[in-house]
Amino acid sequence: MTEPGPEEKIDATFRNGSLTAAGIILGFSLSFISRWVSNPNDWSSIDILPMLLLSIGIALQVKVFADLLARDSLIAAKYDRARRLFLIGLSIVAIGITIALVNDILGMGKMPILG
């Protein structure tokens, strides 16, 4: 795969599709953390790691969403960087959710995710 040139641009329609996908996934991430935080059960120290990972991953997703809304996001190099950051943020959120689910399944946390 070749690196894009400094002024190579992507099609706006392609960027718009990526922006839509990023927005939907960001919305899911925010919905998940909102539901988890609003749970009336007590927190424990075991919940810190998944919450920290979710927060970092969501912060990266928000940054990427803002980057994709910028006018210069049609430059291929900036788009590729935003795409890589989004995948990193998505992976971090997925790891946080996995840890939280494992904690819940094993009965380690006081904040049940599964209800």
What residues does each domain of the chain span? 13-37+44-106
Angle at 27 between CA 25 and CA 29, to 5 degrees: 70
Mean pLDDT (whole number) for 77-92: 95
Q: Which residue has the tokens 């890589």?
A: 84
Mind listing the pLDDT tens digit for each residue in 35-44?
Answer: 888 877 777 8
Most confident of 1-10, 33-42, 81-90: 81-90
| Cα(56)–Cα(72) distance, integer angstroms | 25
pLDDT of 3 reads 63
Burial of 60 (0-12, 13-18, 19+ CB in 10 A): buried
Instruction: Name the residue with higher pLDDT: 65 or 109.
Output: 65
Q: Which residue has the tokens 């927005």?
A: 23
51 pLDDT higher than 70: yes
Instruction: Name the residue with higher pLDDT: 10 or 91.
Output: 91
Two structure tokens written together for 62:
């928000």
Residue 101's CB is within 10 A of a number of other CB atoms, namely 13
Instruction: Name the residue with higher pLDDT: 88 or 10.
Output: 88
- Mean residue pLDDT of the chain comes to 87
**3-state SS class at 75:** strand
85 pLDDT higher than 90: yes
pLDDT of 46 reads 85
Tell me the one-letter amino acid at 73. S
**3-state SS class at 9:** strand
Most confident of 6-10, 26-30, 37-41, 100-104: 26-30
